[in-house]
Amino acid sequence: MIVLGIETTCDETAAAVVERFEDGSGRIFSNVVLSQVNEHAAFGGVVPEIAARAHVEVLDRIIAKAMSEAQYTYDRIDGVAAAAGPGLIGGVIVGLTTAKAIALVRNKPLVAVNHLEAHALTARLTDATPFPYCLFLASGGHTQVVAVRGVGDYVRLGTTHDDAIGEAFDKTAKLLGLGYPGGPQVEKEAENGDATRFALPRPMQGRKEADFSLSGLKTALRLEAEKIAPLSDQDVADLCASFQQAIVEVVLDRLRAGLRLFRDRFGAPTALVAAGGVAANQAIRKVLHRLAFEIGTVLVAPPSELCTDNGAMIAWAGAERLALGISDSLDIAPRARWPLDEIAAAEGALQGTAAYK
């Protein structure tokens, strides 16, 4: 099963060609990603209208590059997948409409992929991770703990009440005058900082449910920064280190709760899986390793280029769905909001069949 995947939900224009073999393993033939970081940097965040226009300008070339790098012609692919949401609607429309046009002209099945599902299934592309596993998805727009029980079978165990973790990193960076995207910059600054200098809160610590709340942490950091302004380089490094340490401890505590919920409801997970841009953070990866070890499982953390937004994850999710005989009609609508557990609700009838697991 060879699938072309298209990703345009945020600020990366991406396309890839991926194969899913009958035994469930996968192979990436091409994975082309063009980041719009430079277009948005001056604004300190993604500007939706700029993003949509930038996708329109480059998407056809990115797809052509993915096809030529893979050395495949359209005759040889089995389907076209595009992220149909959730995300910035202008960009989603660009990617989904392009996929529909290719599917129509080349007479191939279309798969409208949920972007979060694609993050959730990446561990199966890279590591053939069997179900059920516990997913920690942490990106600029999402912070979720999810029980992944099968393709299309997701149970959300926890989420954030306010900011996503990546968003908290980005806002911290902006506040401290660091560049965008903030995560990598904060991580770099934190290396030279004193993580014990500022006493920042660890919101939600000790709660039974696996939810997050990060806006209070962000406010506490701003108050500390204002107290000592103007900030020296060392102040910035210490604030970053203290912030990152608070996040690491929050992740440890919240995921412990999530894994406990998982075990109670579904038994032992086959793995703890990390996904989303924040999973590129080394301090967070370290704590995830520790957690996995603690509960006697393994950490599956795909390489960072597959943790951040890319086309291979969309192609792979499309291939997983096509392998189960699932495709979409050409009139399917793009969705700005599309919770992961809604997929399961819509396709409940398929669950429980052997093929679906």
Name the residues that contact Zn ion, by CB under 5 A.
139, 309
**What's the start-to-end Cα distance of the chain, in Å?**
18
How far is residue 274's CA from residue 284's CA, in Å, rounded to a whole number?
10
93 contributes a contact to ligand KG4 by CB under 6 A: no
What residues are paired with 226 via a beta bridge? Answer: none
How far is residue 60's CA from residue 47's CA, in Å, rounded to a whole number?
21
Nearer to ligand KG4, 37 or 104 (CB): 37
State which of residues 32, 225, 280, 340 lies at the interface with ligand KG4 (CB under 6 A): 280
Nearer to ligand KG4, 167 or 211 (CB): 167
How far is residue 218's CA from residue 211's CA, in Å, rounded to a whole number?
17
181 contributes a contact to ligand KG4 by CB under 6 A: yes
| DSSP state letter for 268 | S
Picked from Zn ion, ligand KG4, none, the partner binding residue 140 (CB below 5 to 8 A depending on kind) is ligand KG4
Instruction: Give yes or no for a contact between 291 and 297, defined as CB atoms under 8 angstroms apart.
Output: no
Nearer to Zn ion, 2 or 168 (CB): 168
Rg (CA), the chain: 20
CA angle 23, 24, 26 (to 5 degrees): 115
How far is residue 30's CA from residue 64's CA, in Å, rounded to a whole number?
11
Picked from Zn ion, ligand KG4, none, the partner binding residue 150 (CB below 5 to 8 A depending on kind) is none
Residue 46's CB is within 10 A of a number of other CB atoms, namely 20
CA dist 179 → 28, 37, 219, 221 (Å): 32, 10, 19, 17
How far is residue 32's CA from residue 58's CA, in Å, rounded to a whole number?
12
Nearer to ligand KG4, 70 or 251 (CB): 251
Residues 105-144 touching ligand KG4, rule: CB under 6 A, are: 139-141
Q: How many residues at the interface with ligand KG4, by CB under 6 A?
A: 20
State which of residues 250, 278, 287, 301 lies at the interface with ligand KG4 (CB under 6 A): 278
Residue nearest ligand KG4, Cβ-based: 183
Picked from Zn ion, ligand KG4, none, the partner binding residue 281 (CB below 5 to 8 A depending on kind) is ligand KG4
State which of residues 48, 184, 201, 216 lies at the interface with ligand KG4 (CB under 6 A): 184
309 contributes a contact to ligand KG4 by CB under 6 A: yes
183 contributes a contact to ligand KG4 by CB under 6 A: yes
Rule CB under 6 A: which residues touch ligand KG4?
10, 139-141, 166-167, 169-170, 181-184, 187, 276-278, 280-281, 308-309
